[in-house]
Structure 1
């Protein structure tokens, strides 16, 4: 029997509902959220270390991620579906039971006593479904099937031309109208897609339609495209992502290209071609998705530090390593840990992409995100990827980033969660500050002047535990010493 591990208020509700609709026998194992953090419990993480939902177990099979689960159910329980086969490659079935997150009360049909009412009733249903964005606007071809119990189970073939269609409920005026509004505010408009047959959430992907979809993105005036890698052969990425880049460039409309190319290959210890990625993509994901927790942020930081020698040569203006999104202002990071993520992402010259509801973000988080000094460090025109240069006793590590005019930015991170603030002392020569005789030091968050130091001096500072940082930068004030930095 299918076992659904159900995490309250999560995508596992889709799987529960799908089993109910298809009358698949299943056992429901419920898990409550942590009452304080509202996150998954350790019991749930025993199945999935990141604590994401849904999860199903079917005999010896354990599956996570909703897209994989839906594919599995479609394959194993195919006899539950009454579906036609696609007529050609440019047409596909939209299955009501598999649409994510829609209110399906519209699909319940009352018994029709008088046959002459059938046409009127069906057209009424079709119009209602169209208003929910569940069928396309061209009514000249559709296929409505009804089971013996009077429930709609399948509706509509997709448009003949196979082009991507906006969700009419979410975007009633279309994508281009939304893009025009965003542009009127002086902003850029971005879109998510997938190189595979479908996106990670099950929506249509670009595979087989690269040129067509690139033209669609250009016609919608999309300025930024993130291309994921679900439901695709990772050995095909070295050809597929450049093909998408070529298709985008051929439109003549400038579109920044974000690739989830290397990360899928890094997951399986396959060596990505970073030379090709840097030539093809404006930025690319390298490692696991950031979750709303300090453990996730810290593990990402450690991975980048451990792999900095092979990543940094490909990092610079126009082609950036991407450690994933800024999660400051959600629930998983303390203010100190939030300071750490912003400071470290700035040191790494990482893309600053926010994942937070800006309508409800706390003031303290907004101040961190909008800190002008950290943004300036991140946006330094040299575009050099910062590096971990020191690992000190007591879980202290120091990162450094060269800036223009021979200035240098630093971040000291204290990761130990079970201790008190600690005083750290470090020689300026160990920081690589040997090119000039004297340096002025400034605290990065406030911009406050710390003091003037000779390159042979020791700099001491206090740093809080549990993922907090001390961020500072150095400006040269005297003539060069003749020494060179040691990094």
Structure 2
């Protein structure tokens, strides 16, 4: 009798332990995909748009270079039934979410959805507070692959408790789902979220309209400001747990080519999730080439999983380093000035970590080998732009 009781207690203990965890072996490199909010927000999102975005991800070449998630942001939900299960807005999604997920999966892509840890979403739709179990079960039943979980209408809630609760319910529901924590960095998630989610926002939302004003690049939360907020966070990122400075703004609000190139490059250097937010059906050739640059995406998706870090700061001219697998590294020269920057590189004098011997240099935007580190060289970095080299032994 005692043996049976002991067995039951041990089994209960391990069942509780197994329930209290996130899914492992997901997001081993930063997630890549597309999110509906930046282009369509609440009023513009619907079933047709999502299907056309899935189609466009194929025809635009995005899928070929690694983009895989199609994520519906806010405004797909409208209420709850008598048992607390979420109801889909049938005007926007007449076929339902499960059917839409099947369509996205038929394209060889993955499907992401949105909810909120509070009583309501940021757009005022039903949140998940008090209904975490029902929502997790629903997402699993629909074959969802990714959940973005926001932080609006959470007055009085504890972030760690709220996000851990949804983590546990997702795990209990049994379907591996990438868990994207979106509490805007308010509670320093980099310090506690490694075992809770697969990525976590480190900042408030990106300001897509931020532009140069004199010598100042954008307003607070322009994308370059978000870069500054990542300094020092590199030690918290790695396979399965990523710092997230928000979605890409490339292709929105007529972002100039130079800024778009710099923005995309820095997200790749930061090992940030690459979530496009532009209309994939209607983008310029320039934006398409930027967002599908295989060499930069390889830096972002490098299996070593190291976030880049700043190694030199000359005011509005910075040098960043990202360690890569097999001893390679990426070095980014980031010019934040409104004028071009002529810079002589003496490789031995730059504070590059673990720099030993001679490296071949490949310019990742021209896709050309341009020499090696055994000799000094002069570069001209255009205003509000970057030059990124891959250094290989």
TM interval, shorter chain, is 0.7 to 0.9
Aligned to 1:462: 380
Within the alignment, does 1:428 sit opposite 2:354 as a pair?
no
The secondary structure found in structure 1 opposite 2:265 is: helix
Gaps of 5+ in 1: 1-51, 53-65, 67-98, 103-132, 137-157, 266-271, 477-487
Kindly indicate whether the alpha-carbon contact (under 8 Å) linking 1:241 and 1:261 is maintained by their aligned counterparts in 2: no
Cα distance, 1:342–1:134 mapped onto 2, change above 3 Å:
closer
User: Which of the numbers 350, 353, 366 marks the counterpart of 1:446?
Assistant: 366
Query: Which residue number corresponds to residue 229 of structure 2?
Result: 303
Cα displacement (A) at 1:203: 0.2
* Residue 325 of structure 2: aligned partner: 404
Which runs of 5 or more structure 2 residues have no equivalent in the other structure? 1-37, 46-75, 212-217
Map 1:235-274 onto structure 2 (within 5 A). Answer: 235-261=157-183, 263-265=185-187, 272-274=188-190
1:28 aligns with none
Matched residue, 1:183: 105
Partner SS, residue 230 of structure 2: helix
Highest CA radius of gyration, 1 or 2? 1
SS of the aligned residue for 1:239 comes to helix
Question: How many residues are treated as equivalent by the alignment?
Answer: 313
Contact persistence 2:310–2:319 (CA under 8 A): yes
Q: Secondary structure at the match of 2:114?
A: strand
Shift of 1:351: 0.3
* TM-score (normalizing by structure 2): 0.75
| Structure 1 contact 428–434 (Cα < 8 Å) conserved | no
- Measure how far apart 1:261 and its partner are: 3.0
Distance apart, 1:410 and its partner CA: 1.2
2:291 aligned partner: 369
Matched, 1:474 2:391: yes
- Change beyond 3 A, Cα 1:180–1:101: closer
1:164 maps to which residue? 86
Distance 2:354 2:169 in 1: 48
Check the 8 A contact 1:316/1:383 in 2, yes or no: yes
Q: Deviations over 1:275-331 (max 9, x none)?
A: 4211101000011201213420111112212xx2xx222200000000111111122
Structure 1 pair 312/434, CA: closer, same or farther in 2 (3 Å)?
A: closer
Distance 1:203 1:415 in 2: 40
Work out whether residues 234 and 264 of structure 1, in 8 Å CA contact, stay in contact via their aligned partners in 2.
Answer: no
* Superposition deviation, residue 101 in structure 1: 9.0
Supply the distance in 1 between the matched residues of 2:77 and 2:257 (Cα, whole angstroms). Answer: 42
The yes-or-no answer on 1:219 pairing with 2:137 is no
- Please list, as runs of the form range in 1=range in 2, the aligned pairs for 1:3-14 lying within 5 A after superposition: none
Structure 1 pair 414–234 and aligned structure 2 pair: CA distance change class (3 A): farther
Helix, strand or coil: the match of 1:412? strand
Report the equivalent of 2:153. Answer: 231
Question: 1:458: how far off?
Answer: 2.7
**Whole-angstrom distance in 1 between the partners of 2:355 and 2:381:** 27
Aligned counterpart, 1:153:
none
The alignment partner of 2:93 has SS state of coil
Q: Secondary structure in 2 aligned to 1:353?
A: strand
**Pairing 1:13-52 to 2, within 5 Å after superposition:** none
Select between 272-281 and 213-222 the one with higher mean Cα deviation. Answer: 272-281
Specify the SS of the correspondent of 2:98.
helix
- Paired with 1:214 and 1:222, the residues of 2 have a C-alpha distance of 10
How many angstroms does 1:233 deviate by? 3.3
Q: Is the 8 A contact 1:330 1:361 kept in 2?
A: no
Residue of structure 2 equivalent to 1:278: 194
What's the offset of the Cα at 1:159?
Answer: 2.4
Contact 1:275/1:314 (8 A) holds in 2: yes
Sort the Cα spacing of 1:100 and 1:391 in 2 relative to 1 into closer, same or farther, 3 A: closer
